[in-house]
Structure 1
Amino acid sequence: MFWLLLCVVDVLVDSFEVIAPNKHLQAIRGHPAVLVCEFTPDPNLFNLVVTWQRQEDTRVVHSFYYQQDQLDRQSPEYHNRTSLFISKLHEGNASLRLAAVRLKDAGMYMCVVSNTKGTGRALMQVTYGAPYSEPRLSIHVNSSALKVQFETEGFPKPEVIWRGEHDQNISYHQEIHSQTEDGLYFIKSICEAQKPVVNITFTLKNHLLNQNLQRAVFLSYDEETTDHMTIVLAVLSVICIILIIGITWLAVKQQNKQRSSL
């Protein structure tokens, strides 16, 4: 009889489960994310306790017991950003909605559920990504070189490739700055092109989000015209300087004349 009772208890304990169907969630910057957690339901919610925590440091992300949210111990960075699907709790849905994902939200999350049928937990990994913005093109020309530059922001660090007219890899200079608050990488990639014709392609790959940006640049650089423009601008600059000196001299002369008349 005692053995039979133990078997019944074991069956009841084993019948309770807490699972995370997706062990990994890819979250996108600024978008909401739903961390799915399911458990063996019990129609009576009075004894239901749901707690979401960060596994690394046990910070409380969200708590629910006594049939309502209990957020007194919620970590400050999650204030007004989390919610459960209350109407689905009786179905065994303890999923958490996290609003406006940011870099600090990345990490391991633990869903802990307890009711009259038992207690269990499930783990989930959340990773963070931000699509790279439309690359901003700028072109810098001087007497010795023509430089093509693209700037963009995203996360994580991308793969950047520059290719020439015949699809060959060409060298480039790149600066990467990590921004603190948004957690974005600012990318400035510069390729020095050969004159007088420029036919190159810039490619950026964000492997985490399967993002592939490709921008072609074709320029026809007329060096003679540029040289002529440089000469014209230089002449105009000299004329402007002479005019300024002349106006200043006339003003001083007029002022001295007025003083002498007094």
Structure 2
Amino acid sequence: MITGQWQVSGPDKPVQSLLGKDTVFSCYLSPETNVETMEVRFFKDQFSAVVHLYRDGEDQKYMQEPAYRRRTVLVKDFMADGHVSLAMRNITLSDAGLYGCWFCSQSYHQVAPWELQVLGQFLAPEIS
């Protein structure tokens, strides 16, 4: 790795969430690098399908795909340590699929992919 560069890591196994519940995706840089001035993009399937975008120190909500509007919150508490989390509310079946978190500084960028699996809520059969 060249000096000044970092690696992006995301969930190392598929994230499972129950239908209708909330879930959180976390991504971080190694070594720890402040991401407050970087662009941080969470996307689904393709880079242009924006789930959440943080750029110029602000959330860019107008860039989100309509299906994710008012359903995502970027947790920024540990951005100085290179760690961000995306909370997504009310998981739907259409949320299942491949995601990525992309970090971009002025001189370097990298992405980490992962998968979201949506599990149905099934009631146990009643025997009478």
Under a length normalisation based on structure 2, what TM-score does the superposition of the two structures give? 0.86
Q: What's 1:76 paired with? A: 66
Are positions 1:113 and 2:24 aligned together? no
Query: Please, which of 216, 225, 229 is the counterpart of residue 127 of structure 2?
Result: 216
Are positions 1:122 and 2:33 aligned together? no
| Counterpart residue identity of residue 42, structure 1 | T
Alignment length, in residue pairs?
127
More strand by share: 2
* SS of aligned partner of 1:72: helix
Instruction: Name stretches of at least 5 consecutive residues in structure 2 with no aligned partner.
Output: none
* Counterparts of 1:82 and 1:125, CA distance in 2: 17
Q: What's 1:12 paired with? A: 3
Q: State the Cα deviation string for residues 134-182 of structure 1 (Å, max 9, x = none).
A: xxxxxxxxxxxxxxxxxxxxxxxxxxxxxxxxxxxxxxxxxxxxxxxxx
> Cα gap change, 1:109/1:31 in structure 2, threshold over 3 Å: closer, same or farther?
same
Native 8 Å contact 2:12 2:114 kept in 1: yes
| Counterpart residue identity of residue 36, structure 2 | L
User: C-alpha root-mean-square deviation of aligned residues, in Å?
Assistant: 2.1
Deviation at 1:215, TM superposition (A): 3.5
Query: Please, which of 118, 131, 145 is the counterpart of residue 121 of structure 2?
Result: 131
> Cα gap change, 1:45/1:215 in structure 2, threshold over 3 Å: closer, same or farther?
closer
More helix by share: 1
Under a length normalisation based on structure 1, what TM-score does the superposition of the two structures give? 0.45
- Where has structure 1 moved over 4 Å in runs of 4 or more? none
Larger CA Rg, structure 1 vs 2: 1
Are positions 1:42 and 2:30 aligned together? no
Instruction: Name stretches of at least 5 consecutive residues in structure 1 with no aligned partner.
Output: 1-9, 134-212, 218-262
Deviation at 1:116, TM superposition (A): 5.1
Native 8 Å contact 2:76 2:85 kept in 1: no
> Cα gap change, 1:84/1:28 in structure 2, threshold over 3 Å: closer, same or farther?
same
Q: What's 2:16 paired with? A: 26
* Counterparts of 1:103 and 1:214, CA distance in 2: 23
Greater RCO between the two (CA within 8 Å, min separation 6)? 2
Are positions 1:96 and 2:86 aligned together? yes
Q: State the Cα deviation string for residues 43-67 of structure 1 (Å, max 9, x = none).
A: 4723x11001112573110000111
Query: Please, which of 41, 55, 75 is the counterpart of residue 85 of structure 1?
Result: 75
* Counterparts of 1:214 and 1:16, CA distance in 2: 50
| Counterpart residue identity of residue 127, structure 2 | A
Native 8 Å contact 1:22 1:36 kept in 2: no
